[in-house]
């Protein structure tokens, strides 16, 4: 747990620094320099790119998670396995290009009515998608070495700081919008190149084809597993991205910019999960290989509790501060139309925190197929519910469809893990946490709004942060959380003394 906490803490700091940059982008830089349609266009580009990446990475990152422990004791076999994962990823990129060329006209026709301008940026989302495939493979390679800080730095800081610089240059008329998009693509391409060079420097670059790894029996096993997780990725990609893409197609780029901004604001609630799940992956794989489901069960509960402690604090802070942010941000009156979207998507993210490492438990076991099946169900639900709700309820309809479909998926996977392995994340501390949050919301509704938005942000953030932290500490809901609080207080005390 020491490695998990150290790497997780540093990665979480980078995550939050990235969130800070992203918030500055969302609240100030993008709305100030770009139109709502241009913001929506950037969102469509990255959503299409991410969907293609999820579908066509052909399971290469998951192969590293699942099978790396078999080869951890042999440097040659490790290199051979990394070589195999890269081959799988390049094969996936090739399949992506062939798929897109085959269905290009159908894809562009889907956006032609409300978001026709996306057709001018096909090269951009294809290039970003290929870069993301390679980045994910190298991220998992570093993760298998229990190094998550470097990839997190690139993903959370470099990408976002790059967007800030590009947008400002566009606002200063140094770049045209098209030139800015091309430079943005360059930042995405740069990240996997950096990881490649760092890996070469740190571990040496030697491609290998050891027969212990490259044999017909293993290749059959790898391909079968890749097919299962790829099937799940198709469903997962559709379920995660279909609301954005259907909003762009059915409502337009302006509406998408509002919806996507509120979704991202809510996604911040889930930030603590990224680092903990990422660094927990190799340990889950090791525990499963050793047959220690008791250790996985302990990790399951601890992760869910600490994730909810942090995530619910973020939810309260954002929920009570959003009205002040709308007053400060450019075009805030337009983004305020998405307040209900934030509330609905926030519920989705809270369910995700509760589920914790459920999906990782399935993917690292022989029950990986369950994750794929439930995600396929999720994909069909997402498509059907979005078709039904978006024309009737607009932005709130897209959010409601996400809540119903993703919520069902979390419940199904948690239920299966419980029935199969007899482990679950629920404990009394979780119910106490929900009661604490409900109390904050009820009491907060009686507190009058502060006229000055800047003062309102400061006072509200301080009041929630101090009171919530004090309650969590006194109730001793999480030993890990209390330890973090004590460490922070000691550092503050030492600094001022």
Q: pLDDT (tens digit, 9 = 90+) per residue, 210-231?
A: 776 777 777 777 777 777 777 7
CA distances from 445 to 33, 385, 439, 452 (A): 35, 32, 10, 18
Q: Which two tokens stand for residue 113?
A: 């009515």
What is d(CA 272, CA 8) in angstroms, rounded to the nearest whole number?
A: 9
The gap between the terminal CA atoms of the chain, to the nearest Å, is 31
Smallest CA-to-CA distance from 4 within 200, 270, 253, 286 is with 286
Note whether 64 and 213 are within 8 A (CB).
no
Note whether 163 and 220 are within 8 A (CB).
no
Is 80 exceeded by the pLDDT of residue 44? yes
What is d(CA 133, CA 468) in angstroms, rounded to the nearest whole number?
A: 40
Within 8 A by CB and 6+ apart from 110, the residues are 249
Is 60 exceeded by the pLDDT of residue 3? no
> What digits encode the pLDDT tens for the residues 254-286?
999 999 999 988 988 887 787 677 677 767 777
Is 60 exceeded by the pLDDT of residue 38? yes
What is d(CA 479, CA 60) in angstroms, rounded to the nearest whole number?
A: 36
Note whether 30 and 258 are within 8 A (CB).
no
Q: What are phi and psi of 355, to 5 degrees?
A: -70, -20
Is 60 exceeded by the pLDDT of residue 5? no
Q: Which residue has the higher pLDDT, 244 or 372?
A: 244
What is d(CA 175, CA 183) in angstroms, rounded to the nearest whole number?
A: 9
- pLDDT value at position 453? 92
What is d(CA 245, CA 44) in angstroms, rounded to the nearest whole number?
A: 7
Note whether 321 and 268 are within 8 A (CB).
no
Is 70 exceeded by the pLDDT of residue 193? yes
Q: Which residue has the higher pLDDT, 429 or 274?
A: 429
pTM of the model as a whole: 0.79
Q: Which two tokens stand for residue 385?
A: 């519910």
What is d(CA 117, CA 260) in angstroms, rounded to the nearest whole number?
A: 18
> What digits encode the pLDDT tens for the residues 67-103?
776 776 677 777 777 777 788 888 889 988 998 889 8
Length of the chain: 497
What is d(CA 193, CA 202) in angstroms, rounded to the nearest whole number?
A: 14
Where would I find the H helices in 422-478? 428-444, 453-475
Note whether 258 and 337 are within 8 A (CB).
yes
What is d(CA 436, CA 175) in angstroms, rounded to the nearest whole number?
A: 49
What is d(CA 426, CA 407) in angstroms, rounded to the nearest whole number?
A: 16
Within 8 A by CB and 6+ apart from 119, the residues are 108, 111, 112
pLDDT bucket at 496, cuts 50 / 70 / 90: low
CA distances from 416 to 200, 307, 366, 376, 412 (A): 41, 21, 13, 15, 6
Q: Which two tokens stand for residue 245?
A: 């893409």
Where would I find the H helices in 356-452? 358-363, 368-421, 428-444
User: Percent of the chain at pLDDT above 90?
Assistant: 30
Is 60 exceeded by the pLDDT of residue 491? yes
The three-point CA angle 399-300-304 to 5° equals: 45
Is 90 exceeded by the pLDDT of residue 344? yes
- pLDDT value at position 1? 46
- pLDDT value at position 367? 66
Q: Which two tokens stand for residue 210?
A: 């050891």
Mean pLDDT (the chain) is 83
User: Percent of the chain at pLDDT above 70?
Assistant: 87
The three-point CA angle 89-412-243 to 5° equals: 60
> What digits encode the pLDDT tens for the residues 154-169?
887 888 888 999 999 9
pLDDT bucket at 181, cuts 50 / 70 / 90: very high
Note whether 294 and 422 are within 8 A (CB).
no
- pLDDT value at position 298? 79
Q: Is 222 exposed, middle or buried (0-12, 13-18, 19+ CB in 10 A)?
A: buried
Question: CA neighbours within 13 Å on the CB side: how many for 141?
Answer: 26
Decide: helix, strand or coil at residue 490: helix
b/e burial code for range 160-179 (CB count within 10 A of at least 16 → b): bbbbbbbbebbeeeebebee
Based on its alpha-carbon atoms, the radius of gyration of the chain, rounded to whole angstroms, reads 23
Note whether 37 and 118 are within 8 A (CB).
no
Q: Tell me which residue range forms the domain holding 45.
A: 2-496
Note whether 138 and 61 are within 8 A (CB).
no
Q: At what angle do helices 293-328 and 428-444 cross, to 10 degrees?
A: 10
Smallest CA-to-CA distance from 360 within 276, 269, 480 is with 276
Where would I find the H helices in 57-176? 60-67, 75-111, 122-144, 149-153, 159-171
What is d(CA 300, CA 409) in angstroms, rounded to the nearest whole number?
A: 18
pLDDT bucket at 478, cuts 50 / 70 / 90: confident
Is 60 exceeded by the pLDDT of residue 34? yes
Is 50 exceeded by the pLDDT of residue 399? yes
Number of domains in the chain: 1
Note whether 342 and 318 are within 8 A (CB).
yes
């Amino acid at each position: 747990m020491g490695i998990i906490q150290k790497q997780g803490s540093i990665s979480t700091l980078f995550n939050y620094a990235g969130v800070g940059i992203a918030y500055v982008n969302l609240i100030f830089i993008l709305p100030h320099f770009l139109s709502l349609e241009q913001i929506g266009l950037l969102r469509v580009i990255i959503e299409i790119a991410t969907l293609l990446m999820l579908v066509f990475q052909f399971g290469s990152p998951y192969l590293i998670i699942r099978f790396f422990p078999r080869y951890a004791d042999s440097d040659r076999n490790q290199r051979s396995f990394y070589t195999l994962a890269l081959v799988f990823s390049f094969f996936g990129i090739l399949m992506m290009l062939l798929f897109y060329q085959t269905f290009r006209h159908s894809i562009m026709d889907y956006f032609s009515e409300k978001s026709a301008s996306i057709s001018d940026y096909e090269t951009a989302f294809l290039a970003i998608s290929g870069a993301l495939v390679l980045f994910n493979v190298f991220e998992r390679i570093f993760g298998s070495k229990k190094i998550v800080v470097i990839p997190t730095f690139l993903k959370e800081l470099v990408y976002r700081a790059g967007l800030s610089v590009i947008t400002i240059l566009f606002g200063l008329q140094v770049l045209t919008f098209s030139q800015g998009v091309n430079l943005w693509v360059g930042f995405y391409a740069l990240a996997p190149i950096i990881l490649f060079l760092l890996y070469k420097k740190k571990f040496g670059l030697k491609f290998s084809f050891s027969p212990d790894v490259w044999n017909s029996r293993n290749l059959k096993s790898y391909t079968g597993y890749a097919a299962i997780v790829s099937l799940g990725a198709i469903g997962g990609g559709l379920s995660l991205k279909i609301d954005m893409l259907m909003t762009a197609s059915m409502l337009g780029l302006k509406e998408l910019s509002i919806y996507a901004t509120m979704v991202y604001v809510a996604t911040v609630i889930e930030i603590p999960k990224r680092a903990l799940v990422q660094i927990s992956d190799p340990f889950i794989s090791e525990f499963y290989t050793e047959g220690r489901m008791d250790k996985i069960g302990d990790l399951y509960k601890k992760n869910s509790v600490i994730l909810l402690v942090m995530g619910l604090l973020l939810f309260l802070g954002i929920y009570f501060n959003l009205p002040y942010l709308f007053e400060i941000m450019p075009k805030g009156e337009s983004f305020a139309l998405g307040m209900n979207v934030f509330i609905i998507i926030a519920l989705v993210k809270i369910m995700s925190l509760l589920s914790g490492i459920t999906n990782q438990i399935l993917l690292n076991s022989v029950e990986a197929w369950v994750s794929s099946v439930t995600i396929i169900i999720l994909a069909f639900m997402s498509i059907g519910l979005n078709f039904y709700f978006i024309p009737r309820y607009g932005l709130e309809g897209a959010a409601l469809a996400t809540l119903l479909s993703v919520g069902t998926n979390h419940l199904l996977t948690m239920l299966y893990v419980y029935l199969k392995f007899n482990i679950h994340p629920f404990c009394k501390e979780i119910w106490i946490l929900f009661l604490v949050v409900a109390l904050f919301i009820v009491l907060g509704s009686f507190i009058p709004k502060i006229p000055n938005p800047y003062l309102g942000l400061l006072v509200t953030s301080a009041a929630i942060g101090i009171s919530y932290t004090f309650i969590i500490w006194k109730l001793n809901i999480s030993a890990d959380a209390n330890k973090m609080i004590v460490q922070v207080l000691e550092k503050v005390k030492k600094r001022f003394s």
